[in-house]
């Protein structure tokens, strides 16, 4: 699974709201969307694509934690973390190195003002059973 991260500030910029860094224009957003569409299409054509989804902005999220056995709900965005999961892509490929190679291509995604210079993407295998976790 390729996990892509973002912040509320980045979601605001993509929505055309200023703040830190430039607000995205419709053309900026379109270029990013076209890059992701083409990236996913290449994975479909290579037979490696399984699924991909983007997620709503952190402001639309809720976190549920157990405190003394009682669920406590917090609306996002969360002050204790800036980066949250923004979307994911699941690939079925020839191994961890190939998945890493695929994920590294996200660095070429267009964005205004080089905002993603410090962005990151995680690659994590999906387990099929508890045995893979040592159970």
pLDDT in tens, the chain (135 residues): 999 998 888 888 888 886 666 788 889 889 999 999 999 999 999 999 999 999 998 889 998 999 999 999 988 776 667 788 999 999 999 999 999 999 999 988 988 876 666 678 999 999 988 887 777
3-state secondary structure at position 82: coil
Of residues 45, 65, 53, 37, the one with CA closest to residue 4: 53
Which pLDDT score is estimated for 66? 94
Which pLDDT score is estimated for 128? 85
Which pLDDT score is estimated for 98? 97
Domains and CATH numbers, the chain: 2-126 (3.30.70.1060)
Which pLDDT score is estimated for 67? 93
Q: Indicate the pTM of the whole model.
A: 0.85
Which pLDDT score is estimated for 20? 63
Reduced DSSP (H G I as helix, E B as strand, rest coil) percent helix, strand, coil of the chain, to 5: 40, 25, 35
Which pLDDT score is estimated for 111? 84
Which pLDDT score is estimated for 104? 94
Which pLDDT score is estimated for 68? 93
* Residues paired with residue 63 on neighbouring β-strands, in sequence order: 74
* Residues paired with residue 91 on neighbouring β-strands, in sequence order: 49
In order of 31, 71, 72, the CA distances from 39 in angstroms are 12, 39, 39
Which pLDDT score is estimated for 129? 82
In order of 20, 71, 116, 122, the CA distances from 9 in angstroms are 7, 28, 12, 20
Residue 1 near residue 100 (C-beta atoms within 8 A): no
Which token pair is 79?
């002050």
Which pLDDT score is estimated for 79? 67
3-state secondary structure at position 59: helix
């Amino acid at each position: 699974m390729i996990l892509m991260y973002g912040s509320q500030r980045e979601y605001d910029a993509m929505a055309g709201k200023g703040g830190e860094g430039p607000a995205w224009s419709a053309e900026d957003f379109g270029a990013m969307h076209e890059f992701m569409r083409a990236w996913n299409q290449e994975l479909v054509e290579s037979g490696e694509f399984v699924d991909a989804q983007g997620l709503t902005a952190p402001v639309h999220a809720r976190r549920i934690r157990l405190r003394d056995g009682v669920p406590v709900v917090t609306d996002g965005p969360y002050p204790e973390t800036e980066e949250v999961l923004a979307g994911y892509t699941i690939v079925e490929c020839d191994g961890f190195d190939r998945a890493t190679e695929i994920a590294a291509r996200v660095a070429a995604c267009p964005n205004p003002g080089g905002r993603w210079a410090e962005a990151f993407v995680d690659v994590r295998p999906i387990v099929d059973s508890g045995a893979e976790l040592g159970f």
